[in-house]
Amino acid sequence: MPPVWTTAIPDWRERLVESRPLIPFAPLFPDEARAASEIFDSLPVIDVAGKPPFGDIGRPWVRDFVNAVFGAYDAATGRRLIQYFFLLIAKKNGKSTLAAGVMVAALIRNWRESGEFYILAPTKEVADNSYTPAADMVREHSVLRSILKPCAGRVIEHRNTGATLKVVAADSETVSGKKTIGLLVDELWLFGKRAASANMLIEAEGGLASRPEGFVIYLSTHADGPPKGVFKDKLDEFRAIRDGKIVDPKKLPVLYEFPEHLIQDDQFKHRRWWSITNPNLGASVDPDFLAGKLAEAQRAGRAQLASFYAKHLNVPIGQGLSADGWAGAELWSRRVEPGLTLDAILDRCELCTVGIDGGGLDDLLGLAVIGRERGTKRWLAWGCALISTIGVGRRKANAADYLAFKREGDLTVFRFDLGVEDLSDDDDDLAELVADALPPETSPEGWTPDVARVVDVVRRINDRGLLAQVGVDAMGIGTIVDALAEIGVTQDEERLFAVRQGIGLMGAFKTVERKLADGSFVHGGGRLLSWCVGNLKLVQTPTAVRLAREESGLGKIDPACALFNAGALMAANPELPDASVYTADRGLIVFE
């Protein structure tokens, strides 16, 4: 009778708090798990005094993980029933040593001649950290050193089958994946920073199509900033599997992260809970060392504290926690109301303000709407952005982020000229970004697509009788002001304002951060605004604080500034204007 199992772990919070096993089932094929564990347990751990074997020092969680990987293989059919594993764990919990041990054991257990196993690392340094313990295990093992042979180029070869384990640095080497049986991806969070990583992993995993016994293991700590790219995609997917939102018994999440309430209440900072994300606490992780590092980080400031939380406590930073970040960013992820679309805001609110912000050709054009909810008076926020193919080409490093925003529907790519910035051959992410870019002048009025999009949103709100005011950064958006005048939204009757930038926005972002704190500001949780909020940098002046656009670099902030433009207007408690005839013969009113 075939085994029955689920990879959902709905009680994962209780399991972690109570120090119970995180993997919810026994090995599907105990004999396979036992055979592999005997090999794994015999491997010497060289960087521990006395070079003890794994079996003498490994914690139960290590044994559970090894059993889950190897115990999923059905020798009768030659098929592995669970093929994908994601281990998310804090730094210094023996991740690289575990990776080496698992892959050496896999090389020994493999029956396929000339099979290929890979450890894919983001950099040469990480690759060396994985290869060195693997090679040392072989050299120090009295039996394995006659079966396996460490070779040049970070390769270990099986003398009998000709199968190999190769450690590849993704920044300088390639892996075709055509014959891959086992792939271990180390430090997945670093791959998330690279635009083409998703396609690289697809290529590396290609061998599983003809290797039913194959497997892929993702290892990572949390990122030192907002999760992005392929790391965020995998993290979101495996969290959903863990929570039972996605049913996929071929994928097993093993995610050592704090339950939400321990983060929201700041309980994760207390030493008593550190074992939740450090299952090796007291072994490879010294609690006194962590306490000392925490004290150092607290003295050093927010940037060091952010790094400590991400790496040693495995706390997802999300946004904020940087020395010069916006204080509201720390609260941003706590005020998400799923499903809060623009249509939902228009249905629930008594009036809306609109913010617009944009700059040069390499910038995003940010558009934000804040609605004042009927009855509660809460602020409900939504945002989107547009970017030209010129901007995409000038900010290729942001391609992975831009593609994620586009897939969510919050970013639109357009062309100023059909012959400019052909990026279709640069890489797959860029090609997908520009594949369906809107052509120039798609509106009957001859507006470029970005202007047409802004006008369309403002018109929708105005036609619903909900438009109170529109706030703009007056620099560089004269075309938008002219276009808004054509639909009757002008400066007359105080419907259009130039919101002062620099220190002029201080009141707006201070108001939004307070409303985030008291819960009277919510948003839909889209990646675009979350990313921009995380990119915000503040500069202290002698008398005030301002947003530092020039300090943000590749991290664009225009949609967040658009949000603050809308917030500056909403903070003045606007009312819907009386019906009147609008003209465009007055200069912009400056809102201070």
Are 483 and 357 members of one domain? yes
Q: Which amino acid is at 328?
A: G
Q: Is the pLDDT of residue 215 over 60?
A: yes
Q: State mean pLDDT over 160-188.
A: 86
Q: Is the pLDDT of residue 508 over 50?
A: yes
Q: How many domains does the chain have?
A: 2
Q: Of the ranges 452-456, 466-470, 478-482, which one carries the lowest mean pLDDT score? A: 478-482
Q: State mean pLDDT over 483-500.
A: 85
Are 343 and 251 members of one domain? no
Strands 155-158 and 148-151: antiparallel
DSSP per-residue codes, 194-212: STTHHHHHHHHTGGGGS-T
pLDDT for res 159: 96
Model pLDDT for residues 22-44, shown as the tens digit of each residue: 999 999 999 999 999 999 999 99
pLDDT for res 504: 63
Model pLDDT for residues 75-87, shown as the tens digit of each residue: 999 999 999 999 9
Q: Which residues of 79-89 are buried (b: 16+ CB within 10 A; e: fewer)?
A: ebbbbbbbbbb
pLDDT band of 537, cuts 50, 70, 90: confident
Higher local confidence (pLDDT), 28 or 555: 28
Which element (helix H / strand E) includes 416?
A: none
pLDDT for res 429: 74
- Measured CA to CA, the distance from residue 249 to residue 240 in angstroms comes to 12
Which CATH number is 502's domain given? 3.30.420
Which CATH number is 194's domain given? 3.40.50.300
Model pLDDT for residues 356-374, shown as the tens digit of each residue: 998 677 789 999 999 999 9
Using alpha carbons only, give the angle 201, 204, 210 rounded to the nearest 5 degrees: 125
Would you say residue 509 lies in a domain? yes
Are 338 and 257 members of one domain? no
Which of 226, 242, 262 is the C-terminal boundary of a domain?
262
Are 574 and 458 members of one domain? yes
Q: Report the candidate in 448, 462, 444, 376 with the shortest Cα–Cα distance to residue 412.
A: 448
Would you say residue 477 lies in a domain? yes
Would you say residue 122 lies in a domain? yes
- Measured CA to CA, the distance from residue 338 to residue 346 in angstroms comes to 16
Are 250 and 351 members of one domain? no
Q: Which amino acid is at 457?
A: V
N-to-C CA span, the chain: 74
Would you say residue 583 lies in a domain? yes
| pLDDT above 90 as % of the chain | 59
Those residues with Cβ within 8 angstroms of residue 556's Cβ, 6 or more apart along the chain or in another chain:
363, 364, 395, 398, 532, 535
Are 245 and 343 members of one domain? no
Q: State mean pLDDT over 87-107.
A: 95
Q: State mean pLDDT over 448-469.
A: 94
Which of 236, 262, 288 is the C-terminal boundary of a domain?
262
pLDDT for res 219: 97
Q: Is the pLDDT of residue 581 over 50?
A: no
Q: Of the ranges 167-176, 477-486, 548-557, 582-591, which one carries the lowest mean pLDDT score? A: 582-591
This prediction's pTM = 0.69
pLDDT for res 172: 66
Q: Alpha-carbon Rg of the chain, whole angstroms?
A: 27
Domain hosting residue 425, numbered range? 330-591
Q: Is the pLDDT of residue 421 over 80?
A: no
Are 350 and 246 members of one domain? no
Are 230 and 335 members of one domain? no
pLDDT for res 493: 67
524 SS3 class? coil
- The sign one gets for the Cα dihedral 100, 104, 109, 110 is positive
Are 24 and 169 members of one domain? yes
- Measured CA to CA, the distance from residue 54 to residue 66 in angstroms comes to 11
Choose from 324-333, 439-448, 461-470, 538-547 the range with maximum mean pLDDT. 461-470
What does DSSP assign to residue 26?
-
363 SS3 class? coil
Are 361 and 258 members of one domain? no
Are 239 and 337 members of one domain? no
Q: State mean pLDDT over 509-534.
A: 92
Would you say residue 309 lies in a domain? no
Q: Is the pLDDT of residue 320 over 50?
A: no
To which residue do tokens 């909403």 refer?
570
- Measured CA to CA, the distance from residue 94 to residue 133 in angstroms comes to 11
Would you say residue 295 lies in a domain? no
- The percent of the chain in helix, strand and coil, each rounded to the nearest 5, is 40, 20, 40
Would you say residue 382 lies in a domain? yes
pLDDT for res 580: 41
Would you say residue 288 lies in a domain? no
Q: Of the ranges 19-33, 127-141, 186-200, 421-435, which one carries the lowest mean pLDDT score? A: 421-435
Higher local confidence (pLDDT), 359 or 426: 359
Compute the residue count for the chain: 592
CB 250 within 8 A of CB 84: yes
- Measured CA to CA, the distance from residue 34 to residue 71 in angstroms comes to 8
pLDDT for res 153: 86
- Measured CA to CA, the distance from residue 239 to residue 225 in angstroms comes to 18
pLDDT for res 416: 84
pLDDT band of 331, cuts 50, 70, 90: confident
Which of 262, 278, 312 is the C-terminal boundary of a domain?
262
Q: State mean pLDDT over 2-7.
A: 93
pLDDT for res 396: 81
pLDDT band of 187, cuts 50, 70, 90: very high
Q: Report the candidate in 237, 260, 274 with the shortest Cα–Cα distance to residue 85.
A: 237
pLDDT band of 509, cuts 50, 70, 90: confident
Q: Is the pLDDT of residue 541 over 80?
A: no
CB 208 within 8 A of CB 251: no
Instruction: Please state the separation of Cα 126 from the chain's center in Å.
Output: 20
Which element (helix H / strand E) includes 286?
A: none
Q: Of the ranges 97-101, 139-143, 501-505, 587-591, which one carries the lowest mean pLDDT score? A: 587-591
CB 384 within 8 A of CB 412: yes
pLDDT for res 476: 58
Are 559 and 454 members of one domain? yes
DSSP per-residue codes, 116-174: EEEEEESSHHHHHHHHHHHHHHHHH-TTGGGTEEEETTTEEEETTT--EEEEEETTT--
565 SS3 class? helix
Model pLDDT for residues 114-162, shown as the tens digit of each residue: 999 999 999 988 888 889 999 999 999 999 999 999 998 899 999 999 9
pLDDT for res 587: 46
